[in-house]
Amino acid sequence: MRSSSADPVAALAAAVEQYHLLGDVGALLDRVTAVAKGAEPDALIAAAAPFRDLPEVVIPVYERVVAARADDAQSMVILANAYWLTGRGADVVGELASRAIAADESNRGAWHLWALAESSPRARMERWARVAERFPADQLARAALADNAASVAGAEHDPLALDLAVRTFEGLWAEASRDDERRALEETIAKLKGWSL
């Protein structure tokens, strides 16, 4: 049998297959960690690609990759996203997202995770505003901005946040290409305009 460092593709595939058969998360983590220690980052990234939806594989692999590549923003984003999905904590995710932004300011995924990781509703709204300003064509960021602004408006009775939510949803409505999207946005806008703060 070839060593895991010589053939990380086969080693990761075997580890995942055994996990699917036995359901032993601890054993999977141990095996993936061992493979990650013995393989080069490029080989690990390629080997882990089929398992990108399994945080149990992604986390040990990308912890190794990020440790080896201090300026690899995309790997930091992949690791931060896996941490987020497993509830690792906003502080850890936010720190990785900030490092990714410092390494590559054009990485939208890093900016999204940076905004998501903020626990204060108002500060999260302000972060989404920065992301939407930096990436004006990013409809997901603008939708998150509008949602967060609506939440702040409702929780804090803030008319400026409400206006921001309405204006942002109206901008998304103007760009919507499907009738169902337009109807949903129209309903949301009408509801927000009916609020009395």
Burial 5-27 (b: 16+ CB within 10 A, else e): eebbbebbeebbeebeeeeeeee
Same domain assignment for residues 44 and 90: no
Q: Are 188 and 171 in contact (CB under 8 A)?
A: no
Same domain assignment for residues 127 and 113: no
Amino acid at position 46, single letter: A
Same domain assignment for residues 135 and 164: yes
Same domain assignment for residues 52 and 77: no
Same domain assignment for residues 197 and 146: yes
Q: In which domain, by residue range, is 141 found?
A: 121-197
Contacts of range 37-41, beta carbons closer than 8 Å, 24 or more positions apart: 37/64, 38/3, 38/4, 38/5, 38/8, 39/4, 39/5, 39/8, 39/64, 41/65, 41/68, 41/69, 41/72, 41/75
Same domain assignment for residues 53 and 17: yes
Q: How many domains does the chain have?
A: 3
Same domain assignment for residues 92 and 105: yes
Same domain assignment for residues 113 and 165: no
Same domain assignment for residues 92 and 57: no
Angle made by CA atoms 9, 15, 16, in degrees to the nearest 5: 90
In tens, the pLDDT along 58-67 reads: 999 999 999 9
Q: Are 95 and 103 in contact (CB under 8 A)?
A: no
In tens, the pLDDT along 140-183 reads: 999 999 999 999 999 999 999 999 999 999 999 999 999 999 99
Give the separation between CA 182 and CA 197, rounded to whole angstroms.
Answer: 26
Both structure tokens of 177: 């290409």
Q: Could you list the pLDDT tens digit for every one of the 197 residues in the chain?
A: 344 446 999 999 999 999 999 999 999 999 999 999 989 999 999 999 999 999 999 999 999 999 999 999 999 999 999 999 999 999 999 999 999 999 999 999 999 999 999 999 999 999 999 999 999 999 999 999 999 999 999 999 999 999 999 999 999 999 999 999 999 999 999 999 999 87
Give the separation between CA 59 and CA 15, rounded to whole angstroms.
Answer: 14
Domain boundary among 101, 117, 133: 117
pTM (two decimals):
0.89
